[in-house]
Each structure stands twice: as structure tokens, then as C-alpha cells.
Amino acid sequence: MKALRLMKWKSEAEIVELPKPTPAPGQLVIKIGGAGACHLDLDLMKDFGDGQLSPLPAMAWKPPFTLGHENAGWIDLIGAGVSRFREGDPVAVYGSWGCGKCGKCKAGFETYCDNPAKAPVPGGGGGLGLDGGMAEYMLVPFERLLLDLPDGLKPIDAAPLTDAALTPYHAIKRSWAKLTPDAFIVIIGVGGLGHMAVQIAKVTTGATIIAIDSRNEALELATSLGANYTFKVGDEIKSKVKDLTSGHGAEVVLDFVGNKQTMALGASICRTLGDFTIVGIAGEVLPFSFFSVPYKTSLQTTYWGSRVELAEVLDLAAHHLISSKISKFKLADAPQVYLDLAAGKIEGRAVIVP
């Protein structure tokens, strides 16, 4: 089978020929119906390495591996001892693979596994140190990592939800208590994750939504998905947000970029007692001190989401309450897709269908 593979750090991924995987006892092979092309893959190609590039951490895993950590498809081969699935069942793959045994993993938060050394790869998963879904078939090492797709949801539509919707869902859910109908939520960066964040904020909270991006098309998309206000970078955003919020700032700010400018902006428009959550992994640094954010503003990061939250996200999509705006590409197009993604030319999410 063909696969898009990262052969070494600091290189473009290549399409190579690999044998189809076979499942050992307890494992499954799925036929990929869609694999989302994520900004993180660009970081894997360009920025990650063996710890040289501070502040990005050194990973406990390294290439070669097949890219693609946002995957859905159909059960193809079933290893001995697996009883929950039948061939052809449509499934989504939960992407962060922990030890499966610690308290965090049992609660479904494999992103925060307490025993990463006992995971298939520490802090990774399919497409992150192990072979992912940018290939015709993908090996999934444990059945707990597969979620049945609800009726009416196709693998191609489900694939990007496993990260691009799960990650903002987790970040927004964490701040639900503050997102009352009189509250404001600011979403910085309306890309693959941000355009889902707008929808998730709309359907799960009563808050007024402000979306910020540097691209007109992204702001138009945000409006069409339910943003109440959109501001373009460079538009005196701070004073506009203060005006809208009677001078207080927003209860919740989500930064899907995470560079110096976006973090400084986020800290300047978040209100006292607010939540400022950095989701984007541009990896730059925000100064933090007693006076750098309003009193009692919580500054936090989140990483991905839980298995339970993924089931909730899939249900939201099956009920047509959220949907990823997708463009479909063949595996052969994947190298060009990543060039376009790097150039900011992809609207919503590109999904590779091998």
C-alpha cells in the first residue's frame, strides 16, 4: 500500500510503498476513509527534532512513521480476542495513545497518561511516532482506541473531528461554567480548529462569539458559522473588544495560534476572573507575572481531549450541530496539500482519502 511517511526530522513527508499491516491479538486494522491534514504535521516536518529547537520539546519518538493523526474508516482486519467489532463497522480513531491502565487513561484522558513509558510510544500515537492514517490501512493497537461512528456520520466527515473538533471542544467545555449568556468568548485563529471552535461555542454555550483572524475569508467563514463579531488582525482589536464588553474584556479567550502577538493580544482582552487558554503550538513565550493579566485570570494550556469527549463530538456532528468544512484530496495530492496549508490557502480542513 502507499503511505505518506516522514522519513526523518526536518524533511518533507514522502509517498512510499509499505506492506499492509496485520493485527496481532487484541489489535485491529482499519481501512482509512479519511485522514485530516493538520498544522501539527507541518510542525513535525519543519520544527520538531531531537530537542535542539527550544521551546519545542524533544519527543520520545522519532521518524520514520506514517503521518495522519486524525483518522476514521472501517474495520478491515480483527485480531484474536477482539469481540466488540465486526468487519466493515465505521469507526473513528482516538488519536492519543496512553498506557490504558492509569487513572487518566481509565477516565479517557490518554493525552495526560501517568505512565507514558508504558504506552505504545510515550506521548504519541498513530501519526505521532507510530504509523498513522495517511495510508490505505492503519494498525490500531487496542480496541478501546476505536469509537463507533453514530448513524449518519461518514468516516471522511468524522476524521477531522478527532482532533480539529475534539481539541476546541475540550478547551471550551473546560470553561463552560464561565460561558453564560451574558459572557463573551474570543476565538483567535479561524483555521482547522478555530472554525470548529466557533460552532462548538455556538451550540454548547449562550456566549457572544468574537472571532479574530488575519484573513478575510476566515472571518467570513466564522460569520457564516455563527460568530457574532469578527475582527481582522491590526484592526485595533483591543479597544473594539473592550467597547463590546463595557470595558471588561472577554470571559474566555482561546488562542489557536500561540505566537507572541496572539498571546499578547489574548492576555490584553481577557477579563478579571476570565480564562485565557492557549491551544496553538506556535511555541512562543508569554511573560506572566502579577500584573501581566487581569486579577485572577487563569492562564492555561490544553492538549487534545478525552475519549468520552470524542464520543460527544461525534454525536454533535451526527445531530448536524457541528460539521468540519472539508476539502477532499487523494494521497498523491498530500505533499501539495501541506504546501497549501503552510501558505494559509486551505479553508477549513483538508482530508486525505487514500
- x/- letters, 62..101, toward Zn ion (CB under 5 A): ------------------------------------xx--
Rounded least distance, CB 298 to Zn ion, Å: 25
Q: Is the dihedral of CA 336, 339, 341, 345 positive or negative?
A: negative
Distance in angstroms (rounded) separating the CA atoms of residues 159 and 267:
32
Q: Which is nearer to Zn ion, 276 or 304 (CB)?
A: 304
How many other CB atoms are there within 10 angstroms of residue 302's CB atom?
18
Cβ closest to Zn ion, residue 89 vs residue 340: 340
Span near Zn ion by CB under 5 A; candidates 53-61, 107-115, 240-248, 317-325: 107-115
Residue placing its CB nearer to Zn ion in the complex, 231 or 256 = 256
Q: Please tell me the distance from the alpha carbon of residue 264 to that of residue 349, in angstroms, as a whole number.
A: 27
Closest approach, Cβ 100 to Zn ion, in A, equals 6
CB of 353 to Zn ion, least distance (A): 17
227 binds Zn ion (CB under 5 A): no
Residues from 12 through 51 that contact Zn ion (CB under 5 A): 38, 40
C-beta of 5 vs 271, nearer to Zn ion? 5
The residue among 309, 333, 269 whose CA lies nearest residue 134 is 333
State in angstroms the smallest separation of the CB of 345 from Zn ion: 18
| DSSP annotation string for 128-147 | BEE--SSBSEEEES-GGGEE
Asked whether position 105 contacts Zn ion by CB under 5 A, the answer is yes
Q: Is 163 in the site for Zn ion (CB under 5 A)?
A: yes
Contact 205, 187 (CB under 8 A): no
Q: Tell me how far apart the alpha carbons of residues 30 and 17 are, in angstroms, rounded to a whole number.
A: 18
Residue corresponding to grid cell 463590546: 244
Segment near Zn ion (CB under 5 A); pick from 111-119, 199-207, 257-265, 277-285: 111-119
Closest CA to 178 of 272, 235, 124, 251: 251
Report in angstroms the alpha-carbon separations of 295 from 97, 241, 252.
37, 18, 14
200 near Zn ion, judged by CB under 5 A? no
Q: Which is nearer to Zn ion, 115 or 259 (CB)?
A: 115
Q: Which residues bind Zn ion (CB under 5 A)?
A: 38, 40, 98-99, 102, 105, 113, 115, 163
